[in-house]
Amino acid sequence: MAEIIPVDPFDYIVFGGTGDLARRKLLPALYHRFVDGQIPDGAQIIGVSRSPLDHDGYRQSINDACRTFLPAEDIDEKALADFLTIVHHISLDALDDDADWSELRALLNDDTRVRVFYMATAPRLYGPVAQNLDAQGLITPATRIVLEKPIGTDLASARAINDAVGAVFDEQAIYRIDHYLGKETVQNLMALRFANALFEPLWSNAAVDHIQITVAETVGVEGRASYYDHSGALRDMVQNHLVQLLCLTAMEPPSTFDAGCVRDEKLKVLRALRPITRAEVERKTVRGQYRKGAVNEQAVLGYLDEEGVAPSSTTESFCVIKAEIDNWRWAGVPFYLRTGKRMALRASEIVVSFKEVKHSIFTDDAGKLHANKLVIRLQPDEGISLDLMTKEPGPGGMRLKPAELNLSFADAFNVRNPEAYERLLMDVVRGNQTLFMHRKEVEAAWQWVEPILDGWRDTKQEAHGYMAGGLGPAASIALIERDGRTWDDELL
Ligand code: BG6
């Protein structure tokens, strides 16, 4: 079993406690931490929502959620029953000035404990709820607040949220979560880069030709159209998850692995991202929207037929951006970012494509020399592989073939790969902000993304149709092929 870092008893209060995120991810993640022995006796998990559920009703709903969203083999009946005894529910409209907070206050009766308020609600509530927490005297020196994405829909709204929450909480008490940073392989990217001497000398435009970052999903809008149709892939995935992956791939080595140093280096990358102007959006970006098709041999609806999507919606469920970083290390190395829903497979990877050998000593009949490629697989089958050219075994001259050095984390380490939220939820309790975003990062990411959104609006950039279960629109292939490159689609 992985090592557990012990923590003192704490109070975890989840606003939006009956919502999709709480049921699907947060409570199941806390259950896992409980099973692994990281949640000490006396800790409390309190769901807050407007629903009239009592404690037992809520426990029943979390019981159902754990059984629905966790694999059956993860359910230990005794552990689940014990876990539910520390789960509580408070019915409260946190925005109502006349709401009665006394029940919640009664549960939070130890002001010396770590207290975490997790905002799993619509982002427009973050500021007002923070202010009410303050007015209710619930913010102690050991209180932290967790803000889920999306933080805003553009730079101005992100600033407004950060200002409103910042008026009540210090930056050190604010944890802006991006669950991609909690994924094991994303953290492994830092181990790969900074715990090995091998890669750093190659990690620049001297040896790297280009980098691809792909997050392909098979799911559609999953009943979230009321949010997604106003958001689209750029706001939902690129502004946060893909941009964070880009930062970790491109950042300079921080001097230590602490929050301040890591976040400063990411911020420098964000500030060096070359703006994409209105005149360039057509050349450097592609938008797509899925049409009906089949995923894993199951017929699925097109985006426009999904429940809750506006009939003539032009929201993108796919997008590609060619990003460039204006600094010494990365000048001339494009980062192709690509994400989409209803793609052929669920597959996320970062592919570092190295330059070709400068001069081949082999004759043409040895075969084509392929450039080396380092693939960091985030999901599924987390691992790292390196494509090398090798000699094909056997006599009969020198024939060259690409072969793969493959490290699969499942094979190398025989442990359950924790869900991203497990690590992050407990990092908040431990007071470790390394894998959370500083407000400056969120705002710098919006600063880069917003002109793309404006460019799309002003140039009425089309969302190209693509068949569900495919590789995305043809225009996304054309975008990279114009540069003489191709997508690394072995996984897809
Ligand atoms: C969320 C997005 O942040 O990430 C979803 O809002 C998306 O639209 C999800 O499906 C993907 O996360 P994961 O961990 O399944 O890759």
Question: Hey, where are the domains in the chain?
Answer: 10-148, 181-481
List, in sequence order, every residue forming a beta bridge with 351; answer none if it has no partner: 212, 375
Query: Is the per-residue pLDDT at 288 higher than 80?
Result: yes
Residue 491 is predicted with a pLDDT of 57
CB-CB neighbours of 359 under 10 Å:
5
CA of 6 to the centre of ligand 1 (A): 29
Residue from 435, 450, 437, 155 nearest 273 by CA = 450
Closest residue to atom 4 of ligand 1, CA basis? 237
Q: Is 236 in the pocket of ligand 1 (CB under 6 A)?
A: yes
User: How many angstroms is it from 159 CA to the middle of ligand 1?
Assistant: 23
Q: Which amino acid type is present at position 410? A: A
Q: Rounded to an integer, what distance in angstroms lies between the CA atom of residue 94 and that of residue 132? A: 7
pTM above 0.85, yes or no: yes
- 10-148: CATH topology: Rossmann fold (3.40.50)
Is the Cβ–Cβ distance between 451 and 276 less than 8 Å? yes
Q: Do domains 10-148 and 181-481 have the same CATH topology?
A: no
Q: Quote the mean pLDDT of the chain.
A: 95
pLDDT at position 492? 62
Strands 383-391 and 373-379: antiparallel
pLDDT in tens, 164-223: 999 999 999 999 999 999 998 888 999 999 999 999 999 999 999 999 999 999 999 988
What is the arithmetic mean of pLDDT over 21-39?
96
Looking at residue 394, its pLDDT comes to 87
Q: Cis peptide leading into 52, omega within 30 of 0?
A: no
Return the residue whose CA atom lies nearest to atom 7 of ligand 1.
Answer: 237
Burial classification of residue 310, based on how many CB atoms lie within 10 Å of its CB (0-12 exposed, 13-18 middle, 19 or more buried): exposed
Query: Which position among 88, 241, 359, 370 bears the catalytic label?
Result: 241
CA distances 337 to 153, 214, 282, 380, 419, Å, are 20, 6, 15, 18, 24
Of the listed ranges 91-100, 115-124, 175-184, 312-321, the least confidently predicted one is 91-100
Listed in sequence order, the DSSP H helices in 338-392 are none
C-alpha 125/C-alpha 117 separation (Å) is 13
Could you tell me the pLDDT band of residue 411, with boundaries at 50, 70 and 90?
A: confident
Report which secondary-structure segment, H or E, holds 299. Answer: strand 298-300
* 241 flagged as catalytic: yes
| Spacing, Cα 369 to ligand 1 middle (Å) | 37
Give the span between the Cα atoms of 308 and 310, in whole angstroms: 6
Is 217 near ligand 1, meaning CB less than 6 Å away?
yes
Query: Of 26, 148, 219, 222, which is best to mutate to test ligand 1, by the most ligand atoms within 8 angstroms of its C-beta?
Result: 219
Residue 430 DSSP SS3: helix
CB-based contact 141:178 (threshold 8 Å) = no
- The region of weakest confidence among 15-24, 320-329, 415-424 is 415-424
**pLDDT tens-digit series, residues 160-170:** 999 999 999 99
Q: Which two tokens stand for residue 124?
A: 């427009």
The closest residue, in CA terms, to atom 2 on ligand 1 is 236
Least confident of 128-137, 143-152, 324-333, 379-388: 379-388
Best residue among 236, 338, 377, 382 to mutate for probing ligand 1, ranked by most atoms within 8 Å of CB:
236
Question: Mind listing the pLDDT tens digit for each residue in 307-357?
Answer: 999 999 999 999 999 999 999 999 999 999 999 999 999 999 999 999 999
User: Which residue carries 């993640």 as its tokens?
Assistant: 29
User: Phi/psi at 238 (nearest 5 deg)?
Assistant: -75, -50
User: Strand 285-291 relative to strand 463-467: parallel, antiparallel, unpaired?
Assistant: parallel
The answer to whether the CB of 272 falls within 8 A of the CB of 325 is: yes
Stretch (H or E) spanning 291: strand 285-291
The closest of 105, 51, 61, 56 to 85, measured between CA atoms, is: 56
Average pLDDT over residues 97-103: 89
Residue found under tokens 């793609």: 343
Minimum CA distance residue for ligand 1 atom 9: 237
> Which one is the CATH code of 181-481: 1.10.10.10, 3.30.360.10, 1.10.150.120, 3.30.479.10?
3.30.360.10
Segment 446-460, tens digit of pLDDT: 999 999 999 999 999
Q: Measured from the CB, is residue 419 less than 6 Å from ligand 1?
A: no
Predicted local distance difference test score (pLDDT) of residue 45: 98
